Structure 1
């Protein structure tokens, strides 16, 4: 039976991509917050203001989630660095399994974030 070999560099590459994606999303959230500020200045209707507040809260929660994901990536990188310092380029099965599980978490987060974006753009279309 042949075993698949997973190298630090392969996982590091994926971590870098995830990090860039999370940074991009954080930048997007900042621009979305600016749009909400514009709407607050335009609308006095309590229904609209309540929806604005709902989005502000969702964006805060999303930002915290992004920070937590970035922390997890940093922990994975630290673990890989420890292996690298010991001249271990191949990681153990447990760590690789955690990486694959995290990949699923990030895919789920990606879908949730895109759903939030779609909802937000529908809201903007209605009230901008």
Structure 2
């Protein structure tokens, strides 16, 4: 099984654990760090929608909690053929990936399209940090 196939399967499996009683729209995400470690997340809804968590946000939080700071590749899988990350999640992914980070968008049957981070979020908001 290729690294991309494994990433797809991880996102597909965690999608089944999503908590989406309001939208019934299950989403799973899997991120691969440069060393091959995979982090997963699923959407978790709440009656107060603004406090819901997207699948990508959950996966990024798991990655950060484990001490990692870089995403090498990502898969997002949902019930739609083209379930691209929302705007907030695009910014989250950009924070820990380069413009060349590839985000694969999938449905239950497989990868449907792949985007670079630059395609998903051109002219992203970025702060330049200096250590002085």
With the length of structure 2 as denominator, give the TM-score of the two structures. 0.25
The structure with the largest alpha-carbon Rg is 1
Q: Which has the higher helix share?
A: 1
Q: Which has the higher strand share?
A: 2
With the length of structure 1 as denominator, give the TM-score of the two structures. 0.25
